Amino acid sequence: MNIPVVDLADFTHGSEKIRNNFVKQLGKAYEEVGFVSVKNHGIPKELIDLLYSLVQQFFSLPVPVKENYQIPGLAGQRGYTSFGKEHAKGSTAPDLKEFFQFGQIIDANEDVSIEYPDNVTVTEIQGFNDSFYKAFRAFESAGSALLQAIALYLTLDEHYFDKYIRNGNSILRAIHYPPIVEAPTSAIRSEQHEDINLITLLVGASADGLQVLSNNGQWISVTSLADQIVVNVGDMLQRLTNNKLKSTTHRVVNPPKELWHTSRFSIPFFLHPQSNMSLACLESCIDPAHPKAYPDATAGEYLDERLREIGLKK
């Protein structure tokens, strides 16, 4: 199975014919595979490189310093989450990772009825929070364009998702998979799972390891070129489209034993809508051959359910 490659510039700057072709190409890929690699995504390489440098500096800090940024009661949605806290849905073995999360910032002149926890300011590393903010906005912009194309594929208004993802509950997560010091009993770096959100945008990780489960049950390694990002469908979009678009199972496997001493860093952007968005299956995606597969729920209700299932919320 090959991960299809799409050019986002075809949609953002192409003629009507080129845009329509992009929409069909993207939709077909999300129906059949659930993943695409995206080039010309608009996220500056210099910003991505800087972000990875800052992330590696953060995870190199002493454990007691990092733990100062672990905030009780936030279910890991802001700041630091220490090693072994999260596990995949249906698994009891903790993933072999630690992570830091940066979330939405509501500008002063925006709707104050939307409330999110404050982001955690890292003081030891100059420019850390500023770079996360810039990257957050860049990912948000690219994700918005992709969702506009998805809306057209679903025969919705092009801007159907805009009002839901504006000031949405999105998360930029920096992940560190530390060196493996002894044979894991049951866990790999990240057990097989599906993402919770609408779509996930992932800039190239620092090492191999990402695998996607194909339609015939085989695990396929996923790599993208340095100028591309990998974008996959999440459970919220699968639920909204009544399984028309696929939230593909994926995992991060351990490296060969000779590379156990190495770390892996990854920075996904989980694009979430506002919590009040309805995930009720679209009527256009329901027919006798595809009866409604899910009960109605809001994005907030579904997120709360999933955070409990993966061990971040009690």
For residue 87, pLDDT over 60 is answered with no
Q: Is residue 41 part of a domain?
A: yes
pLDDT tens, position by position, 128-158: 999 999 999 999 999 999 999 999 999 999 9
Q: What is the mean pLDDT of residues 200-205?
A: 80
Task: Give a yes or no: residue 191 inside a domain.
Answer: yes
pLDDT tens, residue by residue, 152-180: 999 999 999 999 999 999 999 999 988 87
Give pLDDT, residue 86. 62
What residues make up the domain containing 99? 5-309
pLDDT, greater one: 259 or 237: 237
Whether the pLDDT of residue 113 is over 80: the answer is no
Domain CATH for 114: 2.60.120.330
DSSP letters along 255-310, please? PPGGGTT--EEEEEEEE---TT-B-PPPGGG-BTTB---S---BHHHHHHHHHHHT
Q: Please say if the pLDDT value at position 30 is more than 60.
A: yes
The DSSP element (H or E) to which 230 belongs, if any, is strand 228-233
Average pLDDT over residues 198-227: 76
Position 251 scores a pLDDT of: 85
**Greater pLDDT, 114 or 310:** 114
Instruction: Tell me what the pLDDT averaged over the chain comes to.
Output: 87
Least confident range from 88-102, 106-120, 126-140: namely 88-102
Higher pLDDT among residues 41 and 263, named by residue = 41
Q: Does 106 score more than 60 pLDDT?
A: yes
For the chain, give the longest Cα–Cα distance. Answer: 58
Q: Percentage of residues in the chain with pLDDT exceeding 70? A: 89
pLDDT in tens, 239-250: 999 999 999 888
If phi > 0 it is left, if psi is from -120 to 50 it is alpha, else beta; for residue 242 that is: left
Contact of 240 with 282, CB cutoff 8 Å: yes
Q: What is the pLDDT of residue 33?
A: 83
Query: What confidence category does residue 206 fall into, taking pLDDT thresholds of 50, 70 and 90?
Result: very low
Q: Would you say residue 313 has pLDDT above 60?
A: no
Give the Å distances, CA to CA, from 135 to 129, 139, 313. 10, 6, 27
pTM of the model as a whole = 0.88
pLDDT at 255 over 90: no
Number of domains in the chain: 1
Domain-located, residue 314: no
